[in-house]
A and B are shown apart, each in its own frame.
Chain A
C-alpha cells in the first residue's frame, strides 16, 4: 500500500523508542501466554471425555471400594466397559522424582481410555509379564528409561516394601492435553503382594457409557445400587469430576485474571503515553500533511496504523518467544503441572488483545491529531 512507506518511515524515527515499545508488547504477550497456559494447567480444559464416568467412595477418594462392585456396575444398562485403578503412591529413588503410579486392569484399560495409546506388541508384552509396567512418554524421557529397564519403586502404603517392575511399554496420549506422565502396572501382581487385610479393594472405577446423554441416569443408578452399603459410592461424569477437582485449587482464576488485568492496563498506559509523546513531537509535520490536502481522518489513520503495527510485531514476537520457551517451562514444572499447552486458541486471543491495545493506545493521540488545526500548528512562534 502506498502509505505503508510513510508509516514505516515514521516508526523508524526513534529506533530506541521503537525497540522499547516493541519490547513492552513482547513482554506483555509472553506473560499473557504464561498465565493462560498455567490457567489451562489448573483448569484442565478439554481433558474430560463426554462418555466416561468416575465412581469413588462417597466418603472420599482416599477410601477404597470393593472390587466386587465391578460386576454389579457392568450389569447396569448403558455401561459398556468398566476398569479400575489404585493409587500406588510410591517413591522412585527420591521423593522429588514424583510421578503418578496406578495399578490398572489390563483387560479393560484400552477400551475405557483409548486416547492413551500403546503399540500392540508392547501391550502384548505387558499382558504376558506379570511384573510388567508401562510408563508415559514424558516420565520415561525424564528419567531416560528404555524398554527392558528394571524400575524399582519403594512404597509405604499397602504394607510397604520395595517393588520392582520391568518396563515393557511406553504410552503416548493422542491429544496434547493428555497426561503422559503416568506409570502403570498390573492388578494381579499388586493383589498378590499386598497384605490380606487390604486385598480385594480398589481406589476408583472409570467406566464408559454407550450414550453420553445417558450418563446422568447411569450415575444415579450406580449410586442407588450401593446406597446403604458399608461403602457407598459417588458417581460423576468425568467433566464434573474434573471441574470439581479444579475448584479445590481455589481462586486461581481470580488471581490470574487480576494479574493479567494489571499487566494489560499498565501496557496500555505505557504504550498510550509513548504514542502521545510521539504524536506531540510531530505536530508541525501533521499540519503540513493537512495543508497539502490529507484529510483529518487520514491523519487519524496514520497514527492508528503506527500503533497497531507496533502492537502486531511486538505481540507476535512475544507469542513466538512463548512458543519457544514453553517446552522449557513444561519440563521444569512437569511433576506438579503435567499439562502445559500453548494452544492456537491462546495465541489467537493474545494477538487479538495486543491489537486491541494497539488500537486503544493510538486512539487518543490519533483523535488529537485528527482535530489539530493547521493554522494553530503552523503559527509562527
Chain B
C-alpha cells in the first residue's frame, strides 16, 4: 500500500512540475504580447552582447542536434524493420522460435498451411506462400574490405506474388533450380561483388547475380535471395525442412481466422505472426541500444547546455544591472522585468533549437549499416527525421531555455533598486 501511495505521489508531483514548466514556457513565449517592457529592448540587448548570445545558442543547438540525430538513428533502424513486410502476410515458424533462424518446419506442414482459410490463391488455385530458408554468408564490405554477414534468404520462385512490396529494379528474377541470386538494392551497394552480372562463390557453389530488387527501404533491401530448394542443397540441409513460411492472405482482416485455424490444428506445432510484427520485434534490441545510448548522451549534453545557458543569463543580468535598476526606477514592475528576461532566454533557446534541427536535417535519408544483433547479419538503414522528432527537439530546446533562464530572470527582478543604482 505504502509504495503505491509513494509512487502515486511522485507521479503527481512530476505531473505538476511538467505542467508548471509548460505553463512557464507558454507565458514566457507570449510575453511580448502583454508585457510592458518592449521586445525591442531584448533584441538590442542581444545585439549588444552578441558573443555571449552566440555561445548560448551554439550550446543549445549542439545539444538539440545530437538529440535529434540519435533519435532519428533509432527511428531509422526501427522504420526499416517496421517497413519490412505487409500486414496481409502471415509468417509461420516452429513453435517457440524467437527467430526464423532457430526454427524448422516441414514441407508437409507447409502444404497443410496452404489449405487453411484465408490463404490467397494464384491463377492456378495454388496457395500463395513462400517457404524460406535463411542463412548467413560472409562477404567483404565495399567500405572496409573486411567481411560482414549478409542475410541470404532462400525463397520460393513466386515470392514476388507474396511479398508484393518488392519489385525487380534491374535485371530479372532468378530462375528456379539454378544457382542464381537477386540482391536487395542496399546489399548491392554495401558488398563487393554483388553487382548485376557478377558471380560470387559461397558454400561451395557459384552464384550469378541476375537481378537487383527494391524492397521499399525495408530489411529485405539488405538481403540476398535465391531459390530455397537450391540453398538447402548447397548448405547440405534436409531438403524437406524450411525455416519459415510466409503466407499471403486474401486480406489483412483474414489474419485472425487464419491464425485460429492453424493454432487449433493439433498436427501443427507452429507460431503465427503478422509479417510486420515479426520484423518489428527483430529490431527491439538494437533500437533499444541506440535509444538508450542516445538518450544518455542527450541528457548529459542537456545538463551541460543548461549550465551554459545559466552562465550566459546570469552574466547578462549582472552586466545589465544598471539598466534593470533604471527600468525599475521608471516604474516597470518586478514581473515585467522577469517576463522580459524569461522571454529573452526562450528566444535564444528557440533559435538554438531551430539551428540544431536545421543542422542535422541533411542527415535525413543518409544510409549507414550495422550488425543487427538479433539476426546476426548486416542491416542497412537510414537516418529518419520526422516532423515530430523536430518538434521534440524544439520543445527540448525550450525546456533548456526555461531552466537556464528562470532563475536569472527572478534574480533580475528582485534586485533592490537602490543597490543597483548605487553602482552608477
Contact = CB atoms under 8 A, between A and B. Distances in A.
Interface of A: 14, 16-17, 20-21, 23-24, 27-28, 30-31, 34-35, 38, 58-63, 89, 91, 95, 154-157, 160, 197, 230, 232, 234, 243-244, 247-252, 259, 262-263, 265-267, 269-270, 273-274, 276-277, 329, 332-333, 336-337
A169 B297 CA distance: 38
Given A20-B310, A262-B66, A244 B98 contact: no
Given A20-B310, A31-B304, A160 B96 contact: yes
Nearest to A228: B204
24 contacts: A17-B311, A17-B314, A20-B308, A20-B310, A28-B304, A34-B296, A59-B203, A59-B204, A60-B135, A60-B136, A63-B135, A89-B102, A156-B98, A197-B238, A230-B236, A248-B141, A249-B371, A250-B368, A266-B58, A270-B55, A270-B59, A273-B52, A274-B315, A336-B373
Given A23-B307, A155-B102, A160-B94, 5 more contacts: A17-B315, A59-B202, A234-B138, A248-B141, A273-B52
Contacts of A234: 138
A263 B58 CA distance: 10
Nearest to B94: A156
B417 interface: no
B285 interface: yes
Nearest to B241: A197
A69 B169 CA distance: 44
Interface stretch (B27-35, B145-153, B221-229, B252-260): B145-153
Nearest to A162: B96
A274 B66 contact: no
Nearest to A161: B96
Contacts of A27: 300-301, 303-304, 307
Contact of B58 (A58, A62, A157, A269): A269
Given A24-B304, A24-B308, A230 B204 contact: yes
A343 B137 CA distance: 36
Interface in B14-47: none
Closest 6 pairs between A and B when the two form their complex, measured CB to CB: A156-B102, A27-B304, A250-B370, A270-B308, A273-B55, A60-B136
Contacts of B102: 89, 155-157
Contacts of B318: 14
Contacts of B147: 244
Contacts of A262: 62, 65-66
B329 interface: no
Nearest to B316: A277
Interface of B: 51-52, 55-56, 58-59, 62-63, 65-66, 94, 96-98, 101-103, 135-138, 141, 144, 146-149, 202-204, 235-236, 238, 285, 288-289, 292-293, 296-297, 300-301, 303-305, 307-308, 310-312, 314-315, 318-319, 368-371, 373, 376, 378
Contacts of B148: 247-248
Contacts of A333: 289, 292
B311 A20 contact: yes
Interface of A is mostly: helix
A30 B300 contact: yes
Nearest to B289: A336
Contacts of A243: 146
A248 B98 contact: no
A31 B300 contact: yes
A337 B292 CA distance: 12
A100 B311 CA distance: 48
Contacts of B296: 34, 329
A61 B103 CA distance: 18
A128 B62 CA distance: 60
Contacts of B370: 248-250, 252
Contacts of A274: 311, 315
B96 A156 contact: yes
A350 B238 CA distance: 56
Given A20-B310, A230-B204, A61 B138 contact: yes
A61 B135 CA distance: 10
A60 B308 contact: no
B325 to A, nearest CB: 18
Contacts of B288: 336
